Structure 1
Amino acid sequence: MATREDMARSFGAAAQAYEEGRPDYPAEAVAWMLEDAGPRPRVADVGAGTGKLTRVVARLAGDVIAVEPDAAMLDRLRGAVPGVETLIGTAEQMTLPDESLDAVVLGQAWHWVDPAAGSREIGRVLKPGGVLGLIWNIRDEEAPWVARLTEIMKGSHAEELLADGGPLVAQPFDSLERRTWSWSRAVTRATLTAMVLSRSYIITAPAAERGRIERDIAALFDEIGAVGEASVDLPYLTHAFRTRKAV
């Protein structure tokens, strides 16, 4: 069985599926996270992946640095968000100067981070009063077919963290504010399949388990009418959190 570390470092092997299958983040949720970061903030997107959050931040803030440990994911990001500065790094270790940023955001990533070490390093690179924003897109399992999809492909570390009360941060940060947005995206069978195949559990699963998942999702997609180019609405809940570095 794959370890948590294996899963955390697995996404580069499925960078194309990640880019094709994962949703962008609602602009209003990202704007809320950055609300107190100033009019033209300098922002680092940490654990940036293929740039799903980076591209929204770039539209809102303009000055964004993408920090990501996986070179394959950064290659995809550079194609998706041309001209953005990129760095190899993690929340626990960034090659950025002290107090050089107005905000740091993490999309679909804090559940892989050591909260104490990550908070300490992010606190180092943020200016006093700088913003830390955390955000997740989670499928809304109020829809019965979505709940069945989760049963087939298993829940994620992110879903477990949010169900257990949400993320934790440490000094120099205090309590987190939280807001949730409900929305949906129209997806085809190809997009749904890519989303499933981009998940760390499936990327690192033994061949037999991966085969079972692929067969079961195919049967489910047939049942809900996600056939060929036909689309279905996939509902999401976006959970966003923000806090500020102590002054």
Structure 2
Amino acid sequence: MSDARATSFGAAADHYEAARPDYPFEAVAWMLERLPHGARRIVDVGAGTGKLTRVLADAPDAEVVAVDPDAAMLAKLRETVPGVPTFAGTAETLPLPDASVDAVVLGQAWHWVDVTAASAEIGRVVRAGGTLGLIWNTRDNRVDWVRRLTEIMQSSAAEELIDSGGPSVAAPFGALEGERWEWVRPMTRAQLHRMASSRSYLITASDSERESVRQGMDALFDELGLGEDDTIDLPYVTSAFRAVRG
């Protein structure tokens, strides 16, 4: 991981699990549809609380392993996706043997890695013909109130990467293919605040910065007429990418 913010999430593991969205099944299936027939051993790197892990674990005959550098996030994952083996590690240093898995996937994580080093290390553990899959959920800032929310919270590293043209990978993986899905998630005011609290910028911010963001969000919600018991549809875009190991 290339930034101190990348390893800050354990301090907000409960907020992350409660407020971050799950991944659409069809997007996860698309990432892995180029796997050779019968290939089922998949590693979720930067697995966090298991948002992507649980979708993978629901696939027929899947053998899923979760890797994350943060012990608190892995502890939450073991609660949410019991039975999945967990290991400490990063995309640049994987605790796995050579050519031992069919796919490595990262959800909300590739923007933290050293692309060259991570591609080489993942290429070490993925069998020839296997897949590297990358996926992100980002808010749809084409919607005016969502854009204003992002301005208050500040954009994330993930949003900046997707908006700048998307990720890149290096050898031994081939060219990336990409696809996207648009959907909405009903959110309460409290859930929106928890979502903001799960982001690395606010986890590592000062108390005064966090309070300023909270007040700005409440002012926006008041303007939108979002009461404590109301929900608002938060539009998301899921961006998925896949590359095959040569």
With structure 1 as the length reference, what TM-score do the two structures score? 0.96
Query: What's 1:60 paired with?
Result: 59
**Counterpart AA for 1:51:** G
- CA distances 1:5-38 after superposition (whole Å, capped 9, x unpaired): 2211110000011001100000000000010224
Distance across 2 between alignment mates of 1:41 and 1:227: 46
- Show the counterpart of 1:20: 18
Corresponding residue for residue 43 of structure 2? 44
How far the C-alpha of 1:160 sits from its partner, in A, is 1.1
Relative to structure 2, which stretch is displaced further, 77-86 or 161-170?
161-170
The answer to whether the aligner puts 1:95 opposite 2:95 as a matched pair is yes
- Deviation track 1:179-222 (CA, whole Å, cap 9, x = no partner) reads 01000111111211111010001111111111100111112222
Please give the alpha-carbon distance, in whole angstroms, between the structure 1 residues aligned to 2:139 and 2:225: 18
Partner of 1:125: 125
Matched, 1:165 2:161: no
1:47 alignment partner AA: G
Q: Distance in 2 between matches of 1:222 and 1:109?
A: 33
Gap regions ≥5 residues in structure 1: none
RMSD over equivalenced CA pairs, Å? 1.1
Residues in 2 aligned to 1:159 and 1:144: alpha-carbon distance in whole angstroms: 16
In the alignment, which residue of structure 2 is the partner of 1:29? 27
* Counterpart residue type for residue 56 of structure 1: V
Aligned length: 243
Q: CA deviation at 1:51?
A: 0.4
Q: Distance in 2 between matches of 1:188 and 1:27?
A: 24
Q: Give the 5 Å matches for 1:63-142.
A: 63-142=63-142
2:80, 2:226 → 1: CA distance? 26
Rounded to whole Å, the distance in 1 between the matches of 2:114 and 2:204 is: 21
Cα distance in 2, alignment partners of residues 164 and 146 from structure 1: 19
How do residues 173-184 of structure 1 correspond to structure 2 at under 5 angstroms?
A: 173-184=173-184
Determine helix, strand or coil for the equivalent of 1:60.
coil
SS in 1 for 2:128: strand
Query: How much has 1:40 moved relative to structure 2?
Result: 5.1
> Quick one: distance in 1 between partners of 2:83 and 2:106?
20
Q: Distance in 1 between matches of 2:165 and 2:211?
A: 33
| Percent identity for Structure 1 against Structure 2 | 59
Q: Structure 1 stretches (4+) deviating beyond 4 angstroms?
A: none
Give, in whole Å, the separation in 2 of the partners of 1:28 and 1:39.
19
Q: Provide the rounded CA distance (Å) in 2 between the counterparts of 1:100 and 1:224.
A: 51
Q: TM-score of the superposition, structure 2-length normalised? A: 0.96
| Matched AA of 2:131 | V
2:8 is aligned to 10
